[in-house]
Amino acid sequence: MGQAGAALEGIYSLTSNPAGLAGLEDAAVHIGYQHHFFSTDITTQAALLGVPTWLGTWGVAARRYGMDGAYQDTQAGFAYAKRFGTQFSLGMSANYHQLYIPGYLSAFAFSADVGVQYHFDHGSIIGLQYSNVGNAGYGAEVSAAIPSFIRIGFSYPLAMVTLAADLACRFKNGLGGHLGIAYWIADVLCLRGGLSVNPMQQHAGFGVRWQQFVFDAAATFHPRLGVSPQIALGYVF
Amino acid sequence: MAVVLSTTYPAGAQTAVDLLVERLTETAVEDRAEDFDLSGLADRLYYYQQHPIDLNETDGSELKELGFVPQLFIDNLLDHRHRSGAFVAVQELQVINGLDAELLRSLLPFVTVREKSRLADVGVRELLQTGSHELMARYGRTIQQRRGYAITDTSRSRYLGSPDQLFVRYRYRYGNDLQVAINMKKDAGESFFRGAQRQGFDFYSGSVYLRGQRRFRDVVVGDYALQFGQGLALWNGLGFGKGAMVQGIAKQTTGLRPYTSSNELLFLRGGAATVALGKFEVTPFFSWRNLDGSLSVASDGRKSVSSLGQTGLHRTPAEVANRNAIQQWVSGANIWYQLARFRIGLLTYHTRFDTPIEPQPLLRNRYAFRGDALWNSSVYYSRSWQGVYLFGEAAHRHGGGFAVMQGLVATLHHHLSLALHYRNYQRNYYSFFSQGLAAGSGVANERGFYAGLVYHPSRKVEWMVYGDFFRFPWLRYRVDAPSHGVDLMSQLTYTWYKKAHFSIRYRYRLNQENAAIDDRPHRLVADVRRQQVRLNGQYQLNARWTMRNRVEFSHYHKEGTAAELGFMAYHDVIYKPLSGRLSGNMRLAIFGIPSYNARMYAYENDVLYGYSFPVYHNDGVRAYINARCRFGRRADIWLRYATFIYRGVDVVGGGLDAIAGNQRSDVKVQLRWRF
């Protein structure tokens, strides 16, 4: 969906706006793998778990980004989201970050994300997300940063189609925008596509839902760096 | 037998066609030459406006010729007729899937429901009496003298002819079945009945076209245009491509058509026919033309041409020397098969020259065509299914590379449509007649993906967005390295039916070209960013008066140089009474554009069939006034005066076109007689 997630709901809200986790109807677990720019050895592995309860929805997310034996950026987080009434949801997450470069450095940091979503009667959602509140980092002597940004998004359902758009205000790289579209065919197959600006990227993917299983595949196309494919496998309880 | 030969335009007809021509061609023109000729398209639109397409008779081909009707809708229309029987009224169109408010508005002036006529039942005398003849002559001239006319020294480059432009056209039509077209043109600076143009005009073009005669669907003798597949191998004439009409990325194969435009390049000359054999249609064609080219003779006496002429202008001794320097033969055939909503075509043709083409030995020309013969083949298809239209083409240059594309236009929801287009044109592919969707200059050396979306939340509002990402794997003109680019556009339009129309547009383009740094041993490429914001409005005050406004900003920034910001604003007044002898329009525009880099193009009303998209740059004022006067039902006269007044310049234009002073003004007079 072009990385436009601020106004979407579901398990993938653990990677964007935590308030969207409140829309998770059944407990779900996902594991994902992304290969960055195909010809490199840079990869991301991720695992997501979401459990709705009468108190609210709880989530756990773990993610590792880097290159084997050379660079590892690990993140583990705990999220909580709750729906208030029929229209308003609130979410937050606390994250632990660890950066490890063998023989060079090892550093850690904590960060927090918050998000809200407002649901209109006809199904569209407006979402606001603040990631890494307070711009926490690994310290002045480490050049790596934990991205801090505010993102406002809008999603709009149209029968089998969902349109989503985000505007991100980043503390380091200025404004960025995302536009995504998802199209469900017969409740089994979902086609997704999107466009990001700053940096310019195109996205395309699909998802298959079969009984309790979900399989998603997508790729991001960067005009200069090439293709970053990713896959995810999920189970909905 | 009933032949409808209306001799008056419906109210507001010219404005409706103008709007369509502008919408269809604006982006095509921005990427091409300034004097791109749109008269072929306008000609067809006016013709079908006067002789509307019969929804009960059409096989879809006339609707395709309009250029803006999606194939998916045409298929749905034919299906509907097949299932529900003949149309009773045009309003029945509204029940067909794929028709949005915009398409209905655009389509209504061109369609009707009526009885049938057949050419076979008609005698020669009746042909001459019932058919319509049209004779039109246009004279134009720049009032100020250009430098090229003042030079008398015969050893220097100069214009050999007069600054007068003259264009004469004749049309004979019998319904949709028979058409004779003749065009004659003399450009400014070309001689007339003298010198190289001893035979009178510099350019003559003519064709006889027969349609729908038993097995012969189309027959053209003379000048013709072929449009097959998605234009990767053979597409003469205009191609629309990217623009505010997202569905326009799917080209409509119109096959064989007579060539009636006054552009001197984009056509074939000889004979061609489309023969129907069951579900197959076969189109053999042959063409023999003289082309312009700069001949050079090597020390061993071998002749060659480094490039073919691209302008059709023969004003200076050098241009005259290049005139008709090289002969081109084209022969081939296309086979087309249609089964319900599936179509497939196979095309093969051979191009040969009497003199070999040898481009300059530069690295960027490494894969360019060289030699005297080229053989191209292509296979293409299209398939529509419910709300989805799929189309694709794979073309091959024998002994060279491939060009492939695959596209999709889908109605995801009643209010939402999606268009996708993937292209991969190898660097060693080449065709002399290709016109596919491309960000570069032709169908070669490019890979790209286009995605577009149109959303109609109501009949009044339309929002469109597209993104096109592309790469050029090999070097190009002024880009000494592989490069890439992006083209993004979004437009929001609000239409208040029959009264007003307002749109706001943003376009962002990123390209790369050689950096302006000379102190390095090798060249670097720099990013070039162009942004455009355009606000456009049109509103009808009453049945006679319409106003039109535009405010546009352009921003140009090349890495390593200063950014440039330009603006332009205009106001148009259009007077078009429902009846009455006189009509006309005028524009006043002001612009402040630092240089050619931030240039803008704006569509201008002109005399009938004389469309123009001039380029605006520097500081100044642009104004024009057009008037049309009708004399009964048979004769019309058009007058035009247009001027550019620049601020702070002593010379307008450059080279032989330079004019002393700060003004350039043009006049045109056009007469038409219909009988």
Tell me the residue range of the domain where B190 lies. 13-674
| Chain B partners within 8 Å of A179 (Cβ) | 465
Q: pLDDT tier at A164 (50, 70, 90 boundaries)?
A: very high
Q: Is the pLDDT of residue B555 over 80?
A: yes
Q: Which of B385, B408, B413 to mutate to test the interface with A (most CBs of A within 10 A)?
A: B413
Q: Do A223 and B412 touch (CB under 8 A)?
A: no
Return the amino acid letter for B73: F
Q: Which of B447, B469, B529 to mutate to test the interface with A (most CBs of A within 10 A)?
A: B469
Report the 10 Å Cβ neighbour count for B123.
Answer: 9
Pairing of strands B582-593, B525-540: unpaired
* Number of structural domains found in chain B: 1
Interface predicted TM-score (ipTM) over 0.90: no
Domain-embedded: residue B7: no
Q: Do B486 and A221 touch (CB under 8 A)?
A: no
Q: Name the phi and psi angles at B636, rounded to 5.
A: -135, 150
Q: Do B486 and A224 touch (CB under 8 A)?
A: no
B408 in contact with A at a CB cutoff of 8 Å? no
pLDDT for position B36: 59
pLDDT for position B10: 38
Residues 6+ apart with CB under 8 A from B224: B207, B209, B236, B256, B257, B258, B259, B267, B268, B269, B270, B271, B272, B285
Q: Is the pLDDT of residue B3 over 50?
A: no
Residue pairs spanning A and B at CB distance below 8 A: 44
Tell the burial category of B119 from Cβ atoms under 10 Å away from its Cβ (0-12, 13-18, 19+): middle
Residue B83, SS3? Answer: helix
Question: Which segments of chain A does DSSP mark as H helices, in order?
Answer: none
Domain-embedded: residue B2: no
Q: pLDDT tier at A180 (50, 70, 90 boundaries)?
A: very high
| Chain A partners within 8 Å of B470 (Cβ) | 223
pLDDT tens for A92-112 read 999 999 999 988 888 999 999
Distance from CA of B467 to the nearest CA of A (A): 7
The mean-pLDDT minimum among B181-190, B600-609, B631-640 falls in B600-609
Q: Is the pLDDT of residue B191 over 80?
A: yes
Domain-embedded: residue B6: no
Residues pairing with B387 in the sheet: none
Q: How far is CA B673 from CA A42, B49, B91, B579, B636, in A?
A: 73, 18, 34, 19, 7
Residues pairing with B537 in the sheet: B502, B549
Percent of chain A topping pLDDT 90: 66
Distance from CA of A159 to the nearest CA of B (A): 7
Q: Do A223 and B469 touch (CB under 8 A)?
A: yes
Domain-embedded: residue B339: yes
CATH code, domain with B283 = 2.40.170
Domain-embedded: residue B454: yes
pLDDT for position B6: 34
Please tell me which of the candidates A158, A160, A195 has its beta carbon nearest to residue B451.
A195
pLDDT tens for B322-379 read 999 999 999 999 999 988 889 999 999 999 999 999 998 899 999 999 999 999 999 9
Q: Do B412 and A197 touch (CB under 8 A)?
A: no
Q: pLDDT tier at A192 (50, 70, 90 boundaries)?
A: very high
Please tell me which of the candidates A159, A181, A200 has its beta carbon nearest to residue B453.
A181
Q: pLDDT tier at B115 (50, 70, 90 boundaries)?
A: low
Domain-embedded: residue B184: yes
Q: Give, for B76, the enclosing helix (H) or strand (E).
A: helix B71-84
B469 in contact with A at a CB cutoff of 8 Å? yes
Q: How far apart are CA A231 and CA A219, in angstroms?
A: 9
Cα nearest neighbour of B417 on chain A: A161
pLDDT for position B624: 95
Pairing of strands B53-54, B111-112: parallel
Domain ranges in chain A? 11-236
| Chain B partners within 8 Å of A206 (Cβ) | none
Cα nearest neighbour of B466 on chain A: A195
Q: Is the pLDDT of residue B533 over 70?
A: yes
Q: Do A202 and B467 touch (CB under 8 A)?
A: yes
| Chain A partners within 8 Å of B455 (Cβ) | 163
Q: Is the pLDDT of residue B5 over 60?
A: no
pLDDT tens for B419-461 read 999 999 999 999 999 988 888 888 999 999 999 999 988 888 9
Q: Phi-psi bin for B619: left (phi > 0), alpha (psi -120 to 50), beta? A: beta
Distance from CA of B607 to the nearest CA of A (A): 42
Cα nearest neighbour of B467 on chain A: A195
Please tell me which of the candidates B414, B465, B484 has its beta carbon nearest to residue A179.
B465
pLDDT for position B8: 35
Residue B598, SS3? Answer: helix
Per-residue pLDDT, averaged over B663-672, amounts to: 95
Return the amino acid letter for A215: F
Q: Do A200 and B416 touch (CB under 8 A)?
A: no
pLDDT tens for B117-137 read 555 556 666 666 677 899 999
Q: What is the CATH number of domain A11-236?
A: 2.40.160.60
Domain-embedded: residue B4: no
pLDDT for position B128: 65
Distance from CA of B419 to the nearest CA of A (A): 12
A195 in contact with B at a CB cutoff of 8 Å? yes
**C-alpha of B628 from chain center:** 25
Distance from CA of A43 to the nearest CA of B (A): 24
Q: Which of A122, A163, A167 to mutate to test the interface with B (most CBs of B within 10 A)?
A: A163
Contact predicate A124/A118, CB 8 Å: no
Q: Is the pLDDT of residue A115 over 50?
A: yes
Q: Which of B486, B525, B527 to mutate to test the interface with A (most CBs of A within 10 A)?
A: B486
The mean-pLDDT minimum among B241-255, B344-358, B394-408 falls in B241-255
Domain-embedded: residue B534: yes
The pTM score is: 0.85
pLDDT tens for B269-318 read 999 999 998 889 999 999 999 999 988 888 888 889 988 888 889 999 99
pLDDT for position A134: 83
A157 in contact with B at a CB cutoff of 8 Å? no
